[in-house]
Amino acid sequence: MELNTAVVKPAVKPAPAKSAVPTSPMRERAAAKKPVAKPAIKPVAKPSQKPQAKPEGQPSVASTIRDLIKAGKSNEQIWAIVKPKFTLDDAKKNYPAWYRSQLNRTKKAK
């Protein structure tokens, strides 16, 4: 008993013949129209989420405190310099200690 190993090709459908009936005038006009390009929509500028940086030349509170810490000043000495310079109130008296701690943490992380 032999097996038939002939390859079977799929049936090909013939292309549909063009209709002898003319298309409607509306379809002809629609096909003749060129698509109109839509005007480009300009993206809306979103407000910046980043904090505003101080203009160059004016040191920030943070940079001033860090520089004084590196110069070897104590927290009380730093506060006596920074408070009148930046018009800070006594609620922010912990700033020098916080920045000193931050500098110590970043030194250990390196």
How far, in Å, CA of 18 to CA of 29, rounded?
19
In a domain, 89, yes or no: yes
DSSP 54-106: PPTTS--HHHHHHHHHHTT--HHHHHHHHHHHHT--GGGTTHHHHHHHHHHHH
Question: What would the two tokens of residue 60 be?
Answer: 């920030």
In a domain, 16, yes or no: no
pLDDT in tens, 74-102: 999 999 999 999 999 999 999 999 999 99
Range of the domain at 89: 61-109
pLDDT in tens, 19-31: 655 667 777 777 7
In a domain, 29, yes or no: no
In a domain, 17, yes or no: no
In a domain, 95, yes or no: yes
In a domain, 40, yes or no: no
In a domain, 25, yes or no: no
Q: Residue 67 has what pLDDT?
A: 95
pLDDT in tens, 33-53: 777 777 777 777 776 666 666
pTM score? 0.49
How far, in Å, CA of 60 to CA of 78, rounded?
14
Domain count, the chain: 1
In a domain, 54, yes or no: no
